Structure 1
Amino acid sequence: MSRCGREAERRILRLLHGHSTRTCLTQIHAHCLRHNLYQSNQLLAHFVSVCGALNKMPYARLVFLQTQNPNILLFNSMIKGYSVSGPFEESLHLFSLMKNRGIWPDNFTFAPLLKSCSNLCDINLGRGVHAQILTVGFESHSSIRIGLIEFYTTCERMRDAKQVFDAMPQRDVVSWNLMIHGFCKRGDVEMGFHLFRQMSERSVVSWNSMIASLAQSGREFEALDLFCEMWDNGFNPDEATVVTVLPVCARLGAFDVGRWIHNFSDTSGLSRDVISVGNSLIDFYCKCGDLETARKIFNEMPRKNVVSWNAMISGLTFNGRGELGVEMFEEMKREGVDPDNSSFIGVIACCTHAGLVQRGQELFDSMIVKHEIKPKLEHYGCMVDLLGRSGCVKEAHCLLRSMPMRPNAALWGALLSACRTHGDLELAECAAKELINLEPWNSGNYVLLSNIYAEVGRWDEVEKRLSSLNCIKKKKMERKSCFSGTGNVSSPTVKTLTTSKKEGVIVKPDIIEKEVVQEAKGNQITSGTGAVIVPKIEEKASVSLKKEAPARVNVRSTYCGCGCGCGGNV
């Protein structure tokens, strides 16, 4: 290549890695053609890499097909580009083409191939690539080992992943993180936690992965403890940490911890620069009942997305400010933000709590017609709750029957609650039977139906349902864990659930039920309180992490059935 050609190539390389590459890609390619550099494999490999990063692989393919003699460097760039932006199958097709042309793969070929197999989650393709790695002898390369671990953990083949991991002479933090994530994803949080404790060096990703896994598995106190340990070990929270820990703080009522995270986010600039952090803060303060701070954060956000608006709308619903939620939805549209699925779930729930039945119906219709959003179960749940609370139980029933998908137990449960509240016992019986058909194992459904029959004095039907209830109890060998008086957790057996010992006398549940039924017959309960068989749990509260810390208590009313988590009262 002449001196002039080398200078042109260097200039093109600078252009490729400049800030305006996305808008100037075709011009850069024209520059290559003008300087007769369209057959330079090195330059084209850089060009293809940039195309992959910009998700422009069809253009890269055109350039590749015009190259007369592509070498291993250009093939690797194409394979890597497809492994990042897809279609992932093309990486494997190019690998076959490369071998057919007699080009031998190198250690840079297999890592993106494994990435494509991971994205496809195809165990057979991945095993085939692994076999070829062993054939050519590249299994000792660190990037290939990490690719193998990522592939096997993605496919949840943890035994194979562990074999590769155990064979590594030196394990870096990336391989540890992949193994921890793989075990936790599979549901084996204990094994993931065991590996986490074995790590000699951890990264923020390690802490985030373990905290998130503990939180998702319901071990929220441990997740918050691990977050405090992370800080004590000198690791600063990043965006993923904040987004993971704030919902935990909201659920546990750890208001002071959440406020500390807020102060840290302000100091570090996360709340200003990262939209997801601002959204999480809004959600946290709304769930803690501090709407003033939530609105202040929302107003001060330099950039907002639809999730930001949804967080405020749902937060207003959560706190019973339905009319303000509807106003915010209208404000969102005026700002030019298109509502999504979650937006309509939130705003219809707002209409439910504000009693805006007609407005809720209009919004539901506009979602389908104007915004072309297909309603999901959650949307139907909100509408059933909206119609049911206003006494339009027959309309709610018609809506359930017209659904394109089968209504689930939550929807029938919402209708049942509305029917009992408004005294439509015939429709309540229909809803209860649908519930039993969907969940024949759920004893609570039999109790609900027994209550309905008791309210109208049909005691023979009550006896039948109680007999069915006893059959279910006998099939269940163990129940969920319960808390003893000392705070220790004990796993009750069938014996502890089917007997009640008091002063040396064992009372069987069927005797208790018969006594309750007889008492109900005498009292002729006709109200919709549902107090015939079991007491109704009205409220539950979450407490702070430490005993000495002040708790921000989140009081949740009975589930409304709308699916938005608003905690509405039925």
Structure 2
Amino acid sequence: MSERNVASWNTIFSCLGQSGRDREALELFDEMRKQGFQPDEVTVVSLLPVCARLGAVDAGQQIESYAESSRLLNDFISVGNAVIDFYCKSGDMEASMRKFREMPRKNVVSFNTMITGMAFNGKDRQGVKLFEEMATEGVIPNDVTFVGVLTCCSHTGMVDRARELFASMSMDHQIEPKLEHYGCMVDLLGRSGCVREAFDLIRKMPMTPNAALWGSVLSACRTHGDKELAELTVKELINLEPWNSGNYVLLSNLYAEAGRWNEVEKVRVQMRGRCVHKVAGYSAVG
């Protein structure tokens, strides 16, 4: 390219980042600076995630310092969001919160970044508290916000609060829960021993559940010793994935453990009738 400008560099950074060539992107950033080009807000927003993925904290902090001295950090919310996201993904929640508090303006992405970061860095109760702050600052939550705060509730066993938040999505915010929100609730209820409630919640979903949701309930059934519900859950898995031999083996083993050998034989007949073959490595009693 005979003539380059900042937009040209930004396009290359974006392409490299999207294709997983993060180290090349950082090396090219050094070349950009050597050639006298000044990064803009798009450059900063493109490269801070690259630094986070590489664990290149020093490089990220240098980019942040440039953003601060050039007033990009003050002038663009997107830059502030990229900075707090960088620190969250680097595991430095203290720095992330400090930068969040220093932001002159915040939007829903700012709060979502912090709440999600807290959920993945063991600061779950702080994440729930930060959600409460959104209302005082006049920031309206969206579906991503609720995934983050429900995850925080799940990690800390805040069952009642999660129920309130889940109900408030449609009642107060006109947000219809998606599969991710149901997943958070099912995980929380299962962890907390409310296995039947988790099972019923999936059955009432307006969309088709996936195997991961039923698998979460099955895991909770095993943890809490609910064999009856485990049987019903495995049957739901078979209805969802009639081709998956592993589900039939799970059901067969449940029956075998209970000494229900007639049921074990019925499962085998069902497998033969559907031309489902047991995969090597799965264990079926008998």
Is the TM-score greater than 0.5? yes
- Report the AA paired with residue 290 of structure 1: D
Cα distance in 2 for partners of 1:417, 1:225 equals 46
Does the 8 Å contact 1:413/1:435 carry over to 2?
A: no
Q: What corresponds to 2:199 in structure 1?
A: 397
Does the 8 Å contact 1:412/1:435 carry over to 2?
A: no
Q: What corresponds to 2:241 in structure 1?
A: 436
Cα distance in 2 for partners of 1:238, 1:286 equals 22
Q: 1:366 to 1:215 in 2, by over 3 A?
A: same
Cα distance in 1 for partners of 2:162, 2:93 equals 23
Q: What corresponds to 1:254 in structure 2?
A: 56
Tell me the CA shift for residue 292 of structure 1.
0.6
Cα distance in 1 for partners of 2:220, 2:24 equals 39
Alignment pair present for 1:235 and 2:37: yes
Cα distance in 1 for partners of 2:221, 2:29 equals 46
Cα distance in 2 for partners of 1:300, 1:306 equals 16
Alignment pair present for 1:377 and 2:179: yes
The DSSP-based 3-state class of the residue aligned with 2:38 is: coil
**Over the residues paired in the alignment, what is the CA RMSD in angstroms?**
3.0
> Which of 143, 148, 151 is the matching residue for 1:349?
151
Q: What is the percentage of aligned positions where both structures have the same residue?
A: 55
Cα distance in 1 for partners of 2:233, 2:23 equals 40
Give the paired residue count: 271
Q: What corresponds to 1:335 in structure 2?
A: 137
5+ long unaligned stretches in structure 2: 258-263
Deviations 1:69-102 (A, max 9, x none): xxxxxxxxxxxxxxxxxxxxxxxxxxxxxxxxxx
Q: 1:411 to 1:207 in 2, by over 3 A?
A: farther
Deviations 1:464-501 (A, max 9, x none): 79x7465xxxxxxxxxxxxxxxxxxxxxxxxxxxxxxx
> Which of 399, 415, 418 is the matching residue for 2:220?
418
Does the 8 Å contact 2:214/2:233 carry over to 1?
A: no
- Report the AA paired with residue 361 of structure 1: R
Deviations 1:521-555 (A, max 9, x none): 79xxxxxxxxxxxxxxxxxxxxxxxxxxxxxxxxx
Tell me the CA shift for residue 406 of structure 1.
1.9
- Report the AA paired with residue 203 of structure 1: N
- Report the AA paired with residue 249 of structure 1: C
Structure 1 segment 46-445 matched on structure 2, within 5 A = 199-424=1-226, 425-434=230-239, 436-437=241-242
The DSSP-based 3-state class of the residue aligned with 1:370 is: helix
5+ long unaligned stretches in structure 1: 1-198, 471-509, 523-570
Cα distance in 1 for partners of 2:186, 2:7 equals 42
Cα distance in 1 for partners of 2:26, 2:247 equals 38
Q: 1:268 to 1:389 in 2, by over 3 A?
A: same
Tell me the CA shift for residue 277 of structure 1.
0.9
Tell me the CA shift for residue 347 of structure 1.
1.1
- Report the AA paired with residue 267 of structure 1: S
Q: 1:303 to 1:454 in 2, by over 3 A?
A: same
Does the 8 Å contact 1:383/1:396 carry over to 2?
A: yes
Does the 8 Å contact 2:234/2:247 carry over to 1?
A: no
Q: What corresponds to 1:77 in structure 2?
A: none
The DSSP-based 3-state class of the residue aligned with 1:403 is: coil
State the TM-score, normalized to the length of structure 2.
0.81
Deviations 1:486-522 (A, max 9, x none): xxxxxxxxxxxxxxxxxxxxxxxx5xx38xx49xx79
Q: 1:431 to 1:243 in 2, by over 3 A?
A: farther
State the TM-score, normalized to the length of structure 1.
0.43
Structure 1 segment 447-486 matched on structure 2, within 5 A = 447=246, 450=249, 453-454=252-253, 457=256, 468=277, 470=279
